């Protein structure tokens, strides 16, 4: 556990949203671009409510980000800032839901979808916790809904790895920091502070630019490099060289969830047999599912536009926040042989990551912080709206963890649907790859069929690992 001197975690300590987070926060003027991240943990028993509520309250003192809201500068210009909410109310953020008697996992998912689709209150700390009671055999599910501006997937795992317990029993010796003091900041004052800071820094930036130009010893080479970067920037920002699938053209504001369990050792063995990475095998399984889904509707396609975040988080980086770049490419759906599919995926991703301008959005985002929010969806929304698939792979917790005395048996990360047809996430937990699919039902209209196609797509990949277990579908 990494703690600051006051006993709190050294997680989520940045005062201002970074440029990428600012963009994610502001493009929500288009409701299709909302970015809630959903973590669902399946528990082996129903935790005692008072103990769970106390654990959540303790978590807000250990990680004060949970007590902070986002304050926009006046006129929606400048950089949004985290401030401690003077009206923070734990009972608004933490609640429980009793499922009807006889509810199964499917009924739970339908209820979880409804909670997930409810927009977060942007005037409060942007997160909610729900305990779902009434699953079969006395089990329960814990849901954390948090806005993406607070953290990416790896940052979330960093947090939960420190807040979740290694034992069922209560720990009377854990740190007990005080809550952070409330802040009463105004939007106008925030804008004045940022304008003053930015204007005072302009002379220094100008002098630094002049100094840099004077130190250029090879002007021709400098111009050549600038032209090369410009060409790379055009390639990175361009849509993938493939049309959207007509079958997946619909878009709505609705979510549909399904989940798949794949044994980690089996998927790793299949990847090793193909000389590929675990991520290559994972994406190959997803694209196999999309091939089968299109064939079932008698509308085969060669490829679909897809995107994949790649973490740029390094050792020594501050914990929490968002540190990733987006990789967009044409997912090779039509390649039926899984080994060849993995090779094609690997080659495309490696080529894109080698682009000098691969982090173009982060480079351009600071300038976008001064663009009125109403214009941002038109400027940047196509980076996600034009994708038929967004997929992410996050290394999770490989050791047993407990929440208020209940063991966490599975952990599924349902990512947001920012205008795309589907967002599918892999989160490793213990010995399982927990695959969570968030699907727009206007695009993928037959979710049960797609679930079966997911199983078959991963069976194709796992056929490379003799003795592999059959994936388990939860829908």
Residues acting as catalytic residues? 148
Note whether 67 and 125 are within 8 A (CB): yes
Between CA 153 and CA 422 the distance in angstroms is 17
Note whether 162 and 1 are within 8 A (CB): yes
Q: Which two tokens stand for residue 148?
A: 């993406």
Q: Rounded to 5 degrees, what are φ and ψ at 311?
A: -70, 140
Helical H segments across 4-152, by residue range: 19-26, 49-62, 90-93, 105-117
Which residue shows structure tokens 């407990």?
Answer: 402
Between CA 120 and CA 140 the distance in angstroms is 23
Which residue shows structure tokens 């401030």?
Answer: 83
Dihedral (CA of 146, 151, 156, 160) sign: negative
Beta-bridged to residue 435, according to DSSP, are 260, 426
Q: Rounded to 5 degrees, what are φ and ψ at 169?
A: -75, 150
Q: Rounded to 5 degrees, what are φ and ψ at 217?
A: -90, -15
Compute the C-alpha angle 198/65/37, nearest 5°. Answer: 100
Dihedral (CA of 42, 44, 48, 52) sign: negative
Note whether 291 and 461 are within 8 A (CB): no
CA 83 to chain centre: 23
CA 370 to chain centre: 25
Q: Let me know if 291 is exposed, middle or buried by CB neighbors in 10 A (0-12, 13-18, 19+).
A: buried
CA 64 to chain centre: 21
Alpha-carbon separation of residue 84 from 121, 184, 235, 245 (angstroms): 15, 8, 41, 45
Q: Rounded to 5 degrees, what are φ and ψ at 72?
A: -85, 140
Of 197, 158, 195, whose CA–CA distance to 12 is shortest?
A: 158
Between CA 431 and CA 301 the distance in angstroms is 34
Beta-bridged to residue 145, according to DSSP, are 38, 128
List, in order, residues 6 or more apart from 296 with CB less than 8 Å away: 449, 453
């Amino acid at each position: 556990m990494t703690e600051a001197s006051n006993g709190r975690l050294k997680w989520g300590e940045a005062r201002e949203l970074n440029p990428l987070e600012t963009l994610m926060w502001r493009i929500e003027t288009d409701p299709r671009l909302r970015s809630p991240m959903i973590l669902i943990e399946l528990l082996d028993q129903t935790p005692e409510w008072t103990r769970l509520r106390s654990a959540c309250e303790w978590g807000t003192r250990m990680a004060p980000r949970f007590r902070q809201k986002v304050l926009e500068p006046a006129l929606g210009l400048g950089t949004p800032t985290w401030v401690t909410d003077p009206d923070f109310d734990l009972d608004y953020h933490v609640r429980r839901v009793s499922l009807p008697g006889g509810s199964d996992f499917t009924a739970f998912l339908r209820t979880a979808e409804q909670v997930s689709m409810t927009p977060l209150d942007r005037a409060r700390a942007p997160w909610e916790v729900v305990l779902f009671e009434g699953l079969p055999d006395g089990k329960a599910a814990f849901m954390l809904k948090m806005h993406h501006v607070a953290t990416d997937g790896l940052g979330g795992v960093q947090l939960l790895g420190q807040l979740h317990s290694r034992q069922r029993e209560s720990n009377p010796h854990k740190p007990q920091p005080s809550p952070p003091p409330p802040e009463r900041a105004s939007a106008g004052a925030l804008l004045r502070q940022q304008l003053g800071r930015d204007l005072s820094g302009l002379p220094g930036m100008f002098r630094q630019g002049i100094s840099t130009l004077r130190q250029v010893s090879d002007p021709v080479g400098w111009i050549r490099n600038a032209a090369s970067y410009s060409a790379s920037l055009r390639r990175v920002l361009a849509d993938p060289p493939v049309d959207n699938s007509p079958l997946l053209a619909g878009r709505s504001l609705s979510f549909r969830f399904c989940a798949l369990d794949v044994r980690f050792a089996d998927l790793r063995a299949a990847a090793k047999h193909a000389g590929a990475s675990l991520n290559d095998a994972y994406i190959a399984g997803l694209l196999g599912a999309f091939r089968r889904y299109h064939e079932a509707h008698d509308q085969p396609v060669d490829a679909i536009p897809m995107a994949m975040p790649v973490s740029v988080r390094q050792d020594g980086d501050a914990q929490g926040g968002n540190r990733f770049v987006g990789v967009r490419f044409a997912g090779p759906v039509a390649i039926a042989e899984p080994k060849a599919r993995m090779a094609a995926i690997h080659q495309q991703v490696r080529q894109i990551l080698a682009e000098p301008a691969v982090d173009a959005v982060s480079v351009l985002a600071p300038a976008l912080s001064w663009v009125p929010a109403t214009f941002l969806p038109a400027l940047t929304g196509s980076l996600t709206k034009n994708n038929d698939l967004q997929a992410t792979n996050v290394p999770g917790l490989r050791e047993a963890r407990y929440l208020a005395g209940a063991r966490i048996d599975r952990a599924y990360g349902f990512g947001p649907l920012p205008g795309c047809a589907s967002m599918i996430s892999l989160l490793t937990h213990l010995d399982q790859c927990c695959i969570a699919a968030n699907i727009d039902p206007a695009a993928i209209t037959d979710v049960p069929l797609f679930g079966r196609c997911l199983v078959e797509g991963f069976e194709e990949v796992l056929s490379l690992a003799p003795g592999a277990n059959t994936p388990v579908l939860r829908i």
